[in-house]
Structure 1
Amino acid sequence: MLIVDAVLETVDTTGFSLWPVADLPPSRLLALSHRMSLPEIGAALAALAEYNSQASDDDSPVTDAGEQIRRLLEAEKVIAPGGLRIRRTDKDVT
């Protein structure tokens, strides 16, 4: 059987305090699904925020979750580190 997962590469969330996040190692592939826990969803959003943060002269540092989410929603484009993971379960191949 072939299984295709959308995956997001996790980032180091040490010191991330805008919302609760799972304690996941950096560069781990996190499968995005309806089975994710709330801390895993928080880690996925933290990865998006980290990957898409662009410091400019007119941007002040983000100090609350609402501001970070607003910046993501207002961004012209949001890029996520990750892709598709294809697994063949009968051959144990990824």
Structure 2
Amino acid sequence: YTVGDATALAKLRNDDERIDVKYTSVFRELLTYMMEDPRNITACTHLLFCAKNLERIGDHVTNIAENAYYVLTGTQLPANRPKQDETAMSAPAA
């Protein structure tokens, strides 16, 4: 933003997709560890919270990039940003 690079802001916003993919991968891997050995549940639960918080930081960075892009250019980025966090769809039905 401070150097006036709208292209970098748009790229930063689109990089959120990579973070979402990584988070989904970590989420699934930790669930597997917990199912394989219940003694892993406590440690993996802490790691799940850490991973989710890092994913949320990525979402906040994305929002900041979108706002900075708007301030810089006067136009908004397309609303259909890539979103790859599939963990909500991975949860078993109640």
Tell me the TM-score normalized by structure 1.
0.27
**Relative contact order (C-alpha < 8 Å, sep 6+): which is higher?**
2
Structure with greater strand percent: 1
